[in-house]
Structure 1
């Protein structure tokens, strides 16, 4: 570590609102909403981050004097729920060997399996060094607290060099749709094989005949009653399988005010 980075002071925070929102957001390398101060603060303020659900905020800030120069969303986890990375077999093996796997330290966004920045260090010439300093500070905290392990989920590729050879890299598979510059929907269909084109046209025709009105709405335009209905639909997907919905109604009601049109909803009306 250079003399400059060695002078940085790590501080750990039990609430995101202990860190200044403007400074936190200025460190994001892009406009990914899931690591925005507003999104993380809304999770905490509306009862989504709770010790009895296995989440305890432990956010990291790196300071040069009193100036926040790098940060990471960080949590002490009492279980592995809400991560979308399934390490229960690791936990079982650790405990069979006589250890205590939980709590562990997790660098991630709760309930959101979305790849994005996890080591917030801006885009300046010191960004790479700051990301390394964040990782070193997290490792130091694991040692200080006597935790079993440190995990970082759904990182961006340019953050991987901050993690040295002592880390295990886990690669997962997700399916994403990308707009390849299609002139219109027919141009998109033309890029598919005959069977896929036929299936998509058939499915769209079924929707057209249903009489449903389908449209895109920005979060700021929804009324509180509409947000309540959206949450009820979200909750029903968990109820159907006997699972627990982690995002509260209060969180949904806050989205229009906190994130506005950064939230886009596809709504179907009869």
Structure 2
């Protein structure tokens, strides 16, 4: 752990922390728990580091920033030094190529996000009793100076809270638009009520995919928090690893077996599993999907199966999440990154943002000059996706 005081206004003191375990758990969570995003909480970040899912060997060097007034922590930011862009889900290859062409070292860079977790909501964690603009400016100054001192090319905040964007633009960060898929509860009374919002042909397709499991004698079960069978965590680790190997045999899984082993100890209170069972073996799941829940936000994170079964993925990961969200009055269901197949299953494209500041003025100038055109193209794609989704829905 190190301290940086050069750019702070009295009486504030900033510290750089090489691990979340150096930061007092309760002090961090007093700032993080009010946020809708559960992945900014101390326990999740500790899980990532303690399980070695996040480590220097995997390209993530924790450098969390904390800000104190009279030995009391009043602000914090999860931050990482990166030597690659793995696990960020913001694809910056074009900026890397431009940096090379003008002879700028793109790495190392600093990233603000929850590693391998593309869920919107990142922002600085600031005590509401303080002037947010002032504290944010102090933290940005400390970060910028650190990047200059350490020859870090710039700082990038990914999957940020949309309400945070205007403030950061005032501090010279460039806004870059992207999209993910999120389902929104429009006051549905039941899953059947949700289906009634779809056009008949699309409704029939969803019913067909759901009935496919019934014909194969497969049933879906939910378990939440303390209801979750302990064996599910180890089984989830195995399924998760198998899924990664299936789609990319050369790739290393982002999350280690130790991550799933530690999940019940540190994050059971925000956990939910969807499990698919053969009725012939009701205690041995054929497939599992892991979700988190907080403040009416349901987030689908990982899934895997013992073997391929038609439509199993859609039922376990999408339809079950929608059903559970409706039954528990959740407003948003984020099923995870990627997948145009989500559109046909009721998930609209949702605008998300990243924020960027490069130390070298040439790269910063180039991005600022071209980002409006890039963002316009992204917005057009979002509009097209959502227009296609409307064609699957009933008109009022």
Q: Which sits farther off after the overlay, 44-53 or 131-140? A: 131-140
Q: Which residue pairs with 1:96 in the alignment?
A: 101
Q: Which residue pairs with 1:13 in the alignment?
A: 17
| Count of residue pairs brought into register by the alignment | 267
Q: 1:25 aligns with which of 10, 24, 29?
A: 29
CA distance in 1, matches of 2:123, 2:276: 34
CA distance in 1, matches of 2:102, 2:179: 30
Query: Contact conserved, 2:77 with 2:124, CA < 8 A, in 1?
Result: yes
What is the root-mean-square deviation of aligned Cα atoms in Å?
1.8
CA-to-aligned-CA distance 1:24-65 (integer Å, 9 cap, x gap):
111123242200100001111111112121100000001112
More strand per residue: 1 or 2?
2
CA distance in 2, matches of 1:126, 1:167: 20
CA distance in 2, matches of 1:123, 1:195: 50
1:36-75 equivalences under 5 Å are 36-75=41-80
Q: Given the two structures, how large is their TM-score scaled by the length of structure 2?
A: 0.64
Query: Contact conserved, 1:189 with 1:197, CA < 8 A, in 2?
Result: yes
Q: CA 1:261/1:209 → structure 2, altered by over 3 Å: closer, same or farther?
A: farther
1:238 Cα deviation after fit: 1.1
Q: Does 1:135 align with 2:140?
A: yes
Query: Contact conserved, 1:135 with 1:163, CA < 8 A, in 2?
Result: no
CA distance in 2, matches of 1:169, 1:44: 29
1:212-227 equivalences under 5 Å are 212-227=218-233
Query: Contact conserved, 2:16 with 2:64, CA < 8 A, in 1?
Result: yes
Q: Which sits farther off after the overlay, 211-220 or 75-84? A: 211-220
User: Which secondary structure does the structure 2 equivalent of 1:60 belong to?
Assistant: strand
Q: Which residue pairs with 2:350 in the alignment?
A: none
CA distance in 1, matches of 2:272, 2:229: 14
Q: CA 1:120/1:189 → structure 2, altered by over 3 Å: closer, same or farther?
A: same
Q: Which residue pairs with 1:183 in the alignment?
A: 189
User: Which secondary structure does the structure 1 equivalent of 2:198 belong to?
Assistant: coil
Q: Given the two structures, how large is their TM-score scaled by the length of structure 1?
A: 0.92
Q: Does 1:256 align with 2:264?
A: yes
Q: CA 1:193/1:132 → structure 2, altered by over 3 Å: closer, same or farther?
A: farther
1:212 Cα deviation after fit: 1.3
User: Which secondary structure does the structure 2 equivalent of 1:169 belong to?
Assistant: strand
Q: CA 1:6/1:117 → structure 2, altered by over 3 Å: closer, same or farther?
A: farther
Query: Contact conserved, 1:84 with 1:113, CA < 8 A, in 2?
Result: yes
CA distance in 2, matches of 1:196, 1:124: 50
1:219 Cα deviation after fit: 4.8
CA-to-aligned-CA distance 1:137-194 (integer Å, 9 cap, x gap):
2222112212111100011022223313522211111111111111122211111112
CA distance in 1, matches of 2:211, 2:94: 45
Structure 1: 5+ residue stretches without partners: none
Q: Which sits farther off after the overlay, 233-242 or 71-80? A: 233-242
CA-to-aligned-CA distance 1:58-115 (integer Å, 9 cap, x gap):
0000111211100000000010001001112322321332222111011111000000
Q: Which residue pairs with 2:307 in the alignment?
A: none
1:224 Cα deviation after fit: 4.6
1:159-170 equivalences under 5 Å are 159-165=164-170, 166-170=172-176
